[in-house]
Structure 1
Amino acid sequence: MRFVIIGAGRVGLRTARVLREEGHEVTVIERDETKVRRARNQEFPAVEGDGSRETILEDAGVGDADAVGALTGDMNVNFTACMIAKHHGCRTVMRIDEAYREGIYRKYAEEVDEIIYPERLGAIGAKNALLGGTIRAIADIAPSLQIVELTFTEEAPINGYSISEFELPADATVVAFGKRDDPLGIPSEDESLETGDRIVVLADYEVLSEVRQLIVGESATRAAANAGTGGVN
């Protein structure tokens, strides 16, 4: 596949490297001369200029690209670039960094294919490392929704139940399940829930603490503290 990445900073260049390692063609757009040289030193085709200008995007081959990643630190540049790329039939991915209201998120989310938040993803990774083994946040998929992988402990109130026998809060649902050391898959209602088994749940931040209490067996106080109020607002 062919990709155009706008922004050769830390996020953009790392993304470009990962795509290239998987065999894809990547062209980078960057207006900072030093970053352009760095991209070229790493043997990326690089177009120097403003990625929110259609002529620059065309120079980078947007007309033949499968997707465009607008990954600069400037939200306006990213949004404009995505709108141009969409006109050319590309999948569009837009980076957002700063704090913003949910209404602004929804405005952008309706116009582009996907929004990413590098700082939030980095924070999730740090939180996973700090909390350790039984809880692993996977992704934020909306301002109030998170996908979390949890490992059943001996203290879990539903340890020994089957999938069909336990109920999650109304704003949570099971996405995948895996027995200890087995790959994750679509859960069967007859699967028993035992220590070491893993379950992936999509949940609203408001009910994450309840989910943690059921599956990991945390106290209400600790579960609430660990789940936090969440969101990207």
Structure 2
Amino acid sequence: MRVAIAGAGNVGRSIAAELVGNGHQVLLIERDPEAMRPERVPEAEWLLADACELENLRQAHLESCDVAVSATGDDKVNLVVSLLAKTEFAVPRVVGRVNRAENEWLFNEEWGVDVSVSKPRLLAALVEEAVSVGDLVRLLTFRQSQANLVEITLPLDAPHVGSAVADVPLPSDVAMVAIIRGRRVFAPSPDDTLESGDELVFVCHEDAEDAARAVILGKSR
């Protein structure tokens, strides 16, 4: 997979290093010469250019990318890059970084964003996830499909503690994708038994969240 990342600050470089480590081709685009540090991610391509300029994106051959990530610290820049990537270069998947919570509503398909990653929301979700047992925590929103990545930590009195995964009557539009148990992370099989303290991770349509909460925890909001 070929990925273009606009913004080579700490966030952009961290994403690039992770993707390179997973075997993907990565191009980092950065307009600030002082932020150009190819030695930090030497396996990636680096381009000194303003990603808001159409000609620079042509030079980067953005049309050959499978994913574009707008990861700068400026929401206006991230929106422009996302829109250009989607409308001018037809990049199949565009991910936009949201820096300020009040701008989150802008990061949608009208601006070319398929998936928005809100730093304020993510930090809040991680805090909730760290302290919340017995409630549903929304971790990530997939804008295009109106689906969310959510987590529920099972309390001792959850109705399906001790039940097999196959016996949990999940509503439609809810899929359990992982169980985190201590240091283990595994994909659930029908015969796996749920235990108190398990962190269950679901992909869930936003309209089905209350139903999922009711099934897993025996309570609605």
Same fold (TM over 0.5): yes
Seen in structure 2, the aligned counterparts of structure 1 residues 151 and 21 have a Cα distance that, compared at 3 Å, is: same
Could you tell me whether the CA contact under 8 Å between 1:5 and 1:26 is conserved in 2?
yes
In the alignment, what sits opposite 2:151? 149
In the alignment, what sits opposite 1:140? 141
Seen in structure 2, the aligned counterparts of structure 1 residues 157 and 116 have a Cα distance that, compared at 3 Å, is: same
Could you tell me whether the CA contact under 8 Å between 1:79 and 1:94 is conserved in 2?
yes
In the alignment, what sits opposite 1:78? 78
Could you tell me whether the CA contact under 8 Å between 2:107 and 2:113 is conserved in 1?
no
Q: CA deviation at 1:20?
A: 0.8
> What secondary structure is seen at the aligned counterpart in 2 of 1:100?
helix
How many equivalent residue pairs? 213
Q: Does 1:39 align with 2:41?
A: no
Could you tell me whether the CA contact under 8 Å between 1:151 and 1:216 is conserved in 2?
no
Q: Distance in 2 between matches of 1:207 and 1:65?
A: 34
Seen in structure 2, the aligned counterparts of structure 1 residues 174 and 68 have a Cα distance that, compared at 3 Å, is: closer
Seen in structure 2, the aligned counterparts of structure 1 residues 114 and 157 have a Cα distance that, compared at 3 Å, is: closer
> What secondary structure is seen at the aligned counterpart in 1 of 2:90?
coil
Structure 1 residue runs without a partner (length 5+): 225-233
Letter matched to residue 149 of structure 1: E
Seen in structure 2, the aligned counterparts of structure 1 residues 54 and 183 have a Cα distance that, compared at 3 Å, is: same
Structure 2 residue runs without a partner (length 5+): none
Q: CA RMSD in A?
A: 4.1
Letter matched to residue 126 of structure 1: V
In the alignment, what sits opposite 1:66? 66
What is the 5 A alignment of 1:105-124? 105-106=107-108, 108=110, 111-124=112-125
> What secondary structure is seen at the aligned counterpart in 1 of 2:102?
coil
Letter matched to residue 34 of structure 1: E
Percent same amino acid at aligned positions?
27
> What secondary structure is seen at the aligned counterpart in 1 of 2:141?
strand
Q: Distance in 2 between matches of 1:120 and 1:21?
A: 27
Seen in structure 2, the aligned counterparts of structure 1 residues 132 and 74 have a Cα distance that, compared at 3 Å, is: same
Q: Does 1:28 align with 2:51?
A: no
Give 1:100's match in structure 2, choosing from 99, 102, 106.
102
Seen in structure 2, the aligned counterparts of structure 1 residues 195 and 29 have a Cα distance that, compared at 3 Å, is: closer
Structure with greater Cα Rg: 1
Q: CA deviation at 1:80?
A: 2.1
TM-superposition CA deviations, 1:20-71 (whole Å, max 9, x none): 11111211111111111x2345323322221110122223232322222111
More divergent stretch after superposition (22-31 vs 158-167): 158-167
> What secondary structure is seen at the aligned counterpart in 1 of 2:129?
helix
Q: CA deviation at 1:212?
A: 5.5
Seen in structure 2, the aligned counterparts of structure 1 residues 101 and 187 have a Cα distance that, compared at 3 Å, is: farther
Q: Distance in 2 between matches of 1:51 and 1:216?
A: 46
Q: Structure 1 length normalisation: TM-score?
A: 0.66
Q: Structure 2 length normalisation: TM-score?
A: 0.69
> What secondary structure is seen at the aligned counterpart in 2 of 1:77?
helix
Seen in structure 2, the aligned counterparts of structure 1 residues 54 and 207 have a Cα distance that, compared at 3 Å, is: closer
What is the 5 A alignment of 1:1-233? 1-36=1-36, 38-43=37-42, 44-86=44-86, 87-91=88-92, 92-100=94-102, 104-106=106-108, 108=110, 111-131=112-132, 137-141=138-142, 146-157=148-159, 174-176=174-176, 183-185=186-188, 195=196, 199-201=200-202, 202=204, 204=206, 215-216=216-217
Could you tell me whether the CA contact under 8 Å between 1:49 and 1:56 is conserved in 2?
yes
